[in-house]
Amino acid sequence: MCHLITVVIALRAEADVRALAVAHGLRLVAFRPPTAGLRDGEHQYATCPGQCDCGTPLGATRRSRGGRDDDEHQRAKLSKKGWGAAKIDRWLAQVDASRKKKQANHDSRTKSCEAWCDFIVAALDARIGTFGLMLHWSDGSPLEVVRRVSVDRAALSPAVLAEIEENVLYDLLS
């Protein structure tokens, strides 16, 4: 049960976007299996420097209003799956420790919405064609695009990225 950030690009743009990602403290890893709902010619890549993007600022404003990261929500969900209280407590403690460690170890620039804006603008400036951004909530079930939203470059801002929804593919337009 983690957040994953993925970008969706045309395969022909992979080398260019990979170089931009590295320059912005990210990496591209082919995402398998691909999320349901992608169009022909679109390829999806995870961007995290570790195993997940828990603690990301993307969508954080929405989550702070009572999203899926709430411990009580997780506790209830895991209890329904048959987990015992001690196991849930251990898991929540591990998740919390992992988040704190990630925040201490990762470059704060890659954690900020401003840095994501810089990366997206650089990709749009490179005229790579298709560029999509998606924040997944992964709970073990197959990932799919709930809907697609077009965002014009002029409307792109850290505040917009802080409000993105989970499992919505944002098509960034130059």
Other C-beta atoms lying within 10 Å of the C-beta of residue 135: 23
Is the domain of 118 the same as that of 168?
yes
At 10-39, the pLDDT tens digits run: 888 888 998 999 998 888 888 877 788 888
pLDDT, position 67: 44
Is the domain of 166 the same as that of 115?
yes
At 75-131, the pLDDT tens digits run: 888 899 999 999 999 988 888 787 676 555 434 434 588 889 999 999 999 888 889
Is the domain of 52 the same as that of 137?
yes
The pTM of the full predicted model, rounded to 2 decimals, is 0.71
Is the domain of 48 the same as that of 81?
no
Is the domain of 50 the same as that of 88?
no
Beta carbons within 8 Å of 122's beta carbon, 6+ residues apart: 20, 23, 24
> At 153, which CATH number?
3.30.70
Nearest to 160 by CA among 128, 130, 125, 121: 121
Is the domain of 83 the same as that of 169?
no
Is the domain of 73 the same as that of 154?
no
Is the domain of 73 the same as that of 34?
no
The count of structural domains within the chain is 2
Is the domain of 77 the same as that of 44?
no
pLDDT, position 85: 92
Is the domain of 119 the same as that of 164?
yes
pLDDT for residue 141 is more than 70: yes
pLDDT, position 105: 46
At 151-164, the pLDDT tens digits run: 999 999 988 998 89
- Domain ranges, residue 89: 67-105
Least reliable range by pLDDT among 40-49, 55-64, 114-123? 55-64
Is the domain of 134 the same as that of 161?
yes
Cα gap 116→50, rounded to integer Å: 17
Is the domain of 17 the same as that of 87?
no
